[in-house]
Structure 1
Amino acid sequence: PVDALLLSALALLLPDDSGATPYPEHTLVDQAVAATRRRTPAASGFVNAILRRFVRERGTLLEAVRRDAVAAFNHPLWWIERVRQDWPTQWRDLLAANDRPPPMVLRVNARRGSAQQYVQRLAAQGRAAQVVGPQAVWLAVPCAVAQLPGFAEGDVSVQDVSAQRAAPLLLQRPLPHGARVLDACAAPGGKTAHLLELADLDLTALDVDAARLQRVQQTLQRLHLQARLVCADARQPGAWWDGRPFDAVLLDAPCSASGVVRRHPDVRWLRRAQDLSTLARTQAELLDALWPTVAEGGVLLYVTCSIFRAEGEQQIDAFLQRHRADGALLDAAAPGHLLPLPENGIDRSDPASVVGDGFFYALIRKPAS
């Protein structure tokens, strides 16, 4: 309680652009000390000393903060350096974007209606929205999913506009009815469901985490869809694969989540620099293990919600080098790195409303015999 009160008081002592504070300084300090004395009397002198020193030395302290990259950009230093290295002309914008609230984008179930029809249903509720993709609808004001018309019935799901690119990319060349498809790291099931909303597939949803696989099942049940659920490590096909090749494989690989920090602000502080090498090794192992399961003439779509090149462009470059003899081909249809910046917005006339999360997409084709 003392920490929270002290942080709140310090925040209220920060001047706005005009140099003013919301309350007179002496009043705020006195009230904070009085509140501390009521709850934790022994800490009142400490709180008083901290606040009064801050008032005295505020200019010097704030200038020191402005010179500190971690304080200025609100990210760990290693993260700042990595983004600056990967995106030398956009790194400041990328770091700033992580502290902005994300848009709420919906995916309309194509089996149960169109995006335009759903916008009209929202309008009938008094909710402003616009179509921003084939099944994508942007909500002007976010709301609880329970308030969305038809959510419980499976008419709509919540899925970022960048994430909604996965299923159409995998199905870019239409697959035959009942084609064998693998979603190799399926939980929580959004991309699995999107694939089944768009095509009639014999789909296997695989995940190493049994509890998270239950979320896939719940998602499919709500949307009235079916898939074969398998709990196993995708890196060990011998334990789960029957040897019959898949026409298409979706690998939404474990990653740093550096592209979705605005949705999960803690991730930047929970990750460590050494995690990147561990994750990159896992991604490479997944790619190498799953490539043999792809049928001749089939495709593998590699996806991460990361802006780090080590988990995107560099990972795929290394894979193509390793599998040059196999004839692995990179399809130009995949966009590569998508940054959570306005230039990646679907509607350029109103980019702030539809800026998608940071993602990486690579579509790899296996030559037909």
Structure 2
Amino acid sequence: MSHPLPRQKNLRADTAWVIYQVLEQGKSTRECLAQVQRRHQGKDNAWIQEMSLGVFRHLPILQHWLRQLLDNPLKGKKKVVEHLILLGLYQMAFSRVSTHAAVSETVNAAPYLGAMSLKGLVNAILRNFERQSLKDQKIDNPIIKSGLPKWLFKKLETAYGDELGPLVDNMNQKAPIWLRVNLLEVSRGAFCQQLDDLGVTYTLPDAQSAGIILTSRVDITAIPGFQEGWFAVQDGAAQLAATYLQPQAGDNILDCCAAPGGKTGHIFEIQPDIGHCTALDADETRLLRVKENMQRLQHTPTIITGDALEPGTWWNGEQYDRILLDAPCSATGVIRRHPDIRWLRKASDIEALADLQSRILDTMWSLLKPGGTLLYATCSILPQENVDQIKHFLSRTGDAQLSTLTDGESTQKPGRQILPGEQQMDGFYYARLIKSLH
């Protein structure tokens, strides 16, 4: 049952509504936060975001506690109150909010959700949580401790075995903000001087020559050069795409599934003399972001709305020298950045995504020139979408050859799998393929 946004704004009621919409209605956090945050100001908006994402990060343990404290699940219109209680438990166990404020303000939020009669229940559950010291209860179940849904935990356990513990720890960390300096406009050194003058702290990564990792919080749009296109926000793993693609002067390039355009912009920045670049995406709304970013960064791709599986509706018939295929995927590699992904994805999605990726790969391959390069990319950490996908493609595609990105690659283990937290990057996968000349 859907639940309308509370008529009157209230910090905790609105946050509980966001949590309810994501967990019960399958809506994205971004969409729900946008609706709620129009009603609030700066600090309150930051609080709503921090608390709702915190609940998604710790959901299994919060639900474990709730099951011990609530005799019977709430149903119908009352269901949203469970999400208010989860928010209360999160504040008491994981946030800086005082216990007194967490209890009293969460109880006072119930009427805003049409649940005046349940104030007593909310109060009793939160006070029992404190009285029983559940926060200090030892949890032995590794799935509950992981903060992940059972299906995803099992898949990662199968894929990564002994590496699972550190992987899960990294998936639960907050991701740093990376910038990519537009070296056509400013040198990294000169840009860093601007950050120094502002008192913004940062580190410089080894593998990304235009990359900067911010170590202090800052309003991105207030950094000098934002409007002039001196930099873009882009994770370090995504910054490898344009480098791995190796664009050359005069190339005809397709960036397939291009939104929001970070990789498109980077292609121009490392090879300003490319012949032509097409940015393709099926989502017209997300392409608006590509247009905005390209205008700000002063790059000039041809931007097309189109389905990668239906090139007949948008392709001009000229084969491409290079194709970047950033395929639709589970986004399991960016869970630390978008914790709601854990609860929006289902086990059945992976099979469907792997099938879609396979069909897009075959279609894009037919648009590539002999001798051309296709770079396959996902922000997933599941082998089914990555190494297995490329193994199957190589076995069925006679004119495809693997072009290695790392020393340890082979046709039996193709591509580079980056795990979340590796060199402070998001989880990402790349495989580079060359089309034979004959």
Shorter-chain TM-score bucket reads 0.7 to 0.9
- In the other structure, the counterpart of 2:361 is 287
CA contact (8 A) 2:103 2:127 kept: no
CA RMSD, aligned part only? 2.8
Aligned equivalent of 1:88: 161
**TM-score scaled to structure 2, two decimals?**
0.72
Whole-angstrom CA distance in 1 between matches of 2:221 and 2:135:
49
Q: Which amino acid aligns with 1:50?
A: I
Per the alignment, residue 25 of structure 2 pairs with none
Whether 2:278 is the aligned partner of 1:198: answer no
Cα deviation, 1:6-65, whole Å, max 9, x if unaligned, reads: 44554566599xxxx976xxx7899579858998653243234424544565459934xx
2:209 corresponds to 1:155: no
Instruction: Work out which of the residue numbers 364, 378, 390 in structure 2 matches 1:304.
Output: 378
Structure 1 CA distance, aligned partners of 2:103 and 2:361?
Answer: 61
Report if the CA contact (8 A) 2:333-2:379 is conserved: yes
Residue 213 of structure 2 aligns with which residue?
138
Q: Which residue of 2 aligns with 1:350?
A: none
Matches of 2:324 and 2:102, distance apart in 1: 57
Tell me how far apart the structure 1 counterparts of residues 93 and 287 of structure 2 sit (CA, whole Å): 46
Counterpart of 2:383, as a letter, is R
Return closer, same or farther for 1:8/1:180 CA change in 2, 3 Å cut-off: closer
Provide Cα deviations, 1:137-172, integer angstroms capped at 9, x if missing partner.
11121322212110111010000011000001101x
Of the structure 1 ranges 85-94 and 277-286, higher mean CA displacement relative to structure 2 is found in 85-94
How do 1:3-152 residues align onto structure 2 when only pairs under 5 Å count? 6-7=85-86, 9-11=88-90, 14=93, 35=108, 42-51=117-126, 53-55=128-130, 57-58=132-133, 62-63=137-138, 66-132=139-205, 133-152=208-227
Select the residue among 395, 398, 408 that pairs with 1:321.
395
Residues 209-220 of structure 1 aligned to structure 2 (within 5 Å): 209-220=283-294
Residue 70 of structure 1 and its aligned partner are, at CA, apart by 4.1
Aligned CA distance change for structure 1 residues 11 and 139 (closer, same or farther; 3 Å): closer
Give the match for residue 330 of structure 1. 402
CA deviation vs aligned residue, 1:290-342 (integer Å, no higher than 9, x gap): 1011111110000000111111100000000110x22x11111265100113x
Question: TM-score normalized by structure 1?
Answer: 0.85
Change (3 A) 1:130 1:6: closer
Residue 67 of structure 1, CA deviation? 3.2
Give structure 1 stretches of 5+ with no counterpart: 346-354
Distance 2:344 2:226 in 1: 32
- The alpha-carbon distance between structure 1 residues 53 and 115, as it changes in their structure 2 partners (threshold 3 A), is same
SS at structure 2 position matched to 1:247: strand
Q: 1: CA distance between counterparts of 2:377 and 2:366?
A: 18
Q: Comparing 28-37 with 359-368, which one deviates more in the overlay?
A: 28-37
1:95 and 1:178, CA in 2 relative to 1: closer, same or farther beyond 3 A? same
In structure 1, distance between residues paired with 2:121 and 2:107:
12
1:28–1:165 distance in 2 versus 1, CA, 3 Å: closer
| Aligned partner (choices 426, 429, 432) of residue 357 of structure 1 | 426
* 1:339 and 2:435 matched: no
CA contact (8 A) 2:103 2:126 kept: no
What is the DSSP-based 3-state SS (H/G/I as helix, E as strand, rest coil) of the residue aligned with 1:87?
A: helix
Q: How many residues align?
A: 344
Deviation at 1:267, TM superposition (A): 0.5
State the one-letter code of the partner of 1:47: V
Please give the secondary structure, in 2, of the residue aligned with 1:67: coil
- In 2, Cα distance between equivalents of 1:136 and 1:146: 17
Aligned-pair identity in percent equals: 37
- Aligned AA (2:250): G
Q: For residues 107 and 316 of structure 2, what CA distance do their matches in structure 1 show?
A: 70
SS of the residue aligned with 2:335?
Answer: coil
Pairing 1:229-308 to 2, within 5 Å after superposition = 229-308=303-382
- Cα contact 2:254–2:279 (8 A) shared by 1: yes
Mapped to 2, the partners of 1:33 and 1:338 lie a distance apart of: 40
| 2:431 matches 1:368 | no
User: Are the equivalent residues in 2 in contact too, given 1:115–1:131 (CA < 8 A)?
Assistant: no
Residue-by-residue CA offset, 1:61-102 (whole Å, 9 max, x unaligned): 934xx1344431111000111111111121122222122111
Relative to structure 1, is the Cα distance of residues 128 and 33 closer, same or farther in structure 2, using a 3 angstrom cutoff?
closer
Q: Counterpart of 1:351? A: none
| Cα pair 1:5 1:32 within 8 Å, conserved | no
Q: Go from structure 1 to structure 2 and tell me whether the alpha carbon gap of 1:317 and 1:57 turns closer, same or farther (over 3 Å shift).
A: same
Secondary structure of the 2:289 match is: helix
Structure 1 residues 67-76 or 1-10, which shifts more? 1-10
CA positional deviation for 1:4: 6.7
Cα distance in 1 for partners of 2:106, 2:199 equals 47
Deviation (angstroms), 1:240 = 2.0
